[in-house]
A and B are shown apart, each in its own frame.
Chain A
Amino acid sequence: MRVEFIDLFVGAAVTVLKDVLGEPVEAGRVSLEMALSTKECFSVSFGLTGDVSGTVLFGVPEKTAMDIASIMNETEFASINEPIVLDSLAELMNMVAGRCVTLLNDRGFNFSLTPPAIFWSRELRICSTDVETLIVPISTDCGDLSVSVAIRVGV
């Protein structure tokens, strides 16, 4: 996987999270996994199709999800079950993924993004991917979240 893609995904995530949640937002050290998975409570995944194909998976702990949704909607939520909480999270991740797709397309890669799929479970492992996954932790005032990127170029 080309490092420039990871840098773009991380850079886009940090920029959008700063725009929406405010400072500070910081990316941590990148790690490598052979499977696309997350142990966080909420996951939002996007498929990429075209010159670049694969999956991007965001993992967000429950408390972080609640805090992010509260900031985005300028209101406190009583329950994680309120549809707007998950929806806000998915929209935030959509903005991050959209920013990445925009940057990569403007660099000459022609591909598109599927609408987000939201998962709510103790652990998520996507078995269909056979490419290595790079995972980047991102810390915010609402808590930590992770971005996992498993993509290939020219498939």
Chain B
Amino acid sequence: MPQHSMTKTDQEHPYRFLIVDDSIFARKNIAKVVEAIGGIVAGEASNGKEAVDKYFALKPDLVLMDISMPEMEGIEALSLIRKRDKEAKVVIVSALGHEELVKKSLALGAKHFISKPVELNKAAMIIKFVLEQEGEKNEG
């Protein structure tokens, strides 16, 4: 079992993730984090528009979303997803991490912010934290 492994406590099903990034390398790299925590990649998208479509088709437990992408940026996709699904859990994964952008992302409903280059252990801890926190809210 991987070091960071976790599953939904009420069901023995692994968490399902949607990975959104225009870089193939970045998607592969983030998939390693998902695998490390025992989750599965339910789908991938390479721009914000595709992310919105796939979110509602796949209904993943968590979206890991890049910001700077062609066609539609991650911030707009985050906003569109959260407008239609207030329960949507989105974590931003970006090389851009200035204060204003982080605040804007959180104001639009992002649950957390992971900076690139992605450090596996740190990213795994953040994702676990978000999923556990949201799990506690649902239980409460």
Chain A interfacial positions (CB closer than 8 Å to B): 16, 19-20, 72-73, 83-84, 87-88, 90-91, 94-95, 97-99, 101-103, 105-106, 110, 112-115
Contacts and interface: CB of A to CB of B under 8 A. Distances in A.
B68 A115 contact: yes
A91 B96 contact: no
B94 A84 contact: no
Contacts of A99: 95
Nearest to B70: A115
B8 interface: no
Nearest to A88: B25
Contacts, number: 56
B94 A91 contact: no
Interface string B56-94: 000000000000111000000000000000000000001
Contacts of B38: none
B95 A97 contact: yes
29 contacts: A19-B117, A73-B28, A83-B24, A84-B24, A87-B23, A87-B25, A90-B23, A91-B23, A91-B25, A91-B26, A94-B68, A94-B95, A94-B116, A95-B117, A97-B95, A98-B68, A98-B95, A98-B97, A102-B96, A102-B98, A103-B98, A105-B98, A105-B101, A106-B98, A112-B68, A113-B96, A115-B22, A115-B68, A115-B70
Contacts of B10: none
B12 interface: no
A105 B98 CA distance: 6
Interface string B14-51: 00000000111110100000000000000000000000
Given A73-B28, A91-B23, A98 B116 contact: yes
Given A84-B25, A115-B68, A115-B69, A95 B98 contact: no
Interface in B88-124: 94-101, 116-117
A105 B117 CA distance: 19
Contacts of B100: 105, 110
A78 B13 CA distance: 38
B94 A98 contact: yes
B117 A20 contact: yes
Contacts of A106: 98-99
B75 to A, nearest CB: 10
Contact of A102 (B24, B26, B69, B97): B97
Contacts of B97: 98, 102
A114 B71 CA distance: 11
